[in-house]
Structure 1
Amino acid sequence: MAESVSLPAGWNCVTDLTRHDSFMDREYTTVTYEQEGTGQRVIITDVQEPNNFGGWGFLVQSDGSDYGELGLVEDIGSARELAREFMEEYEAPPE
């Protein structure tokens, strides 16, 4: 799936797939953005919300030790927006 809006400079979408799990009878989405040069990643995945057996959401997280989880939101559009906000504000640490 192509991005409906452009990403901040230096960021690329390296994974954007949805797969169907026949056992659970639901679809799971994974989106990964990566910053050129630094390898910093922002990852969106479907997760079951804690303490909510029937609730599912989208976890947005950064793979850097300084950031970790960025948030848990209800829909993929909100997840992409949260990821985009992080990408716009992220500054690579000095070498």
Structure 2
Amino acid sequence: MPESVVLPDGWEQTLDRSNFDSFMDREYTTVAFVHSPTGRKVIINDVQEPNSFGGWGYLIHVTDPEYGELGLVEDLQTAREIAHEFMEEHPN
């Protein structure tokens, strides 16, 4: 997240990386946030959109099956905003 964004209490960013895949000739991004008290994780992955050969997006999902997928968006900034909204709404 941008440095000016403060995560809600109990949440920390544990991963923010991009790996280059030479076969696909593109980078794949993964961002993860963990809520230490509950162990809940919010993960953003760069994925190919369903039923699309050329479309890519960022899938936001929670490891807790109660919440599952939060959305599939076109840009990383929007994905981070959705993840942050979830973290604010679910502090415990």
- TM-score, structure 1 as length reference: 0.91
Q: Residue in 1 aligned with 2:32?
A: 32
* Distance change (3 Å), C-alpha of 1:24 and 1:54: same
Q: Residue in 1 aligned with 2:48?
A: 48
Structure 1 residue runs without a partner (length 5+): none
Q: Residue in 1 aligned with 2:57?
A: 57
Q: After superposition, what is the alpha-carbon deviation per residue over 1:26-70, rounded to whole angstroms, capped at 9, x for unaligned? A: 000000100121110000001100111100000000000100000
User: What secondary structure, in the 3-state scheme, does the structure 2 residue paired with 1:45 have?
Assistant: strand
Structure 2 residue runs without a partner (length 5+): none
Following the alignment from structure 1 to structure 2, what is the Cα–Cα distance between the partners of residues 64 and 91? Answer: 14
Following the alignment from structure 1 to structure 2, what is the Cα–Cα distance between the partners of residues 54 and 65? Answer: 29
User: What secondary structure, in the 3-state scheme, does the structure 2 residue paired with 1:66 have?
Assistant: coil
CA-based RMSD:
0.9
- TM-score, structure 2 as length reference: 0.94
* Segments ≥4 residues shifted beyond 2 Å: none
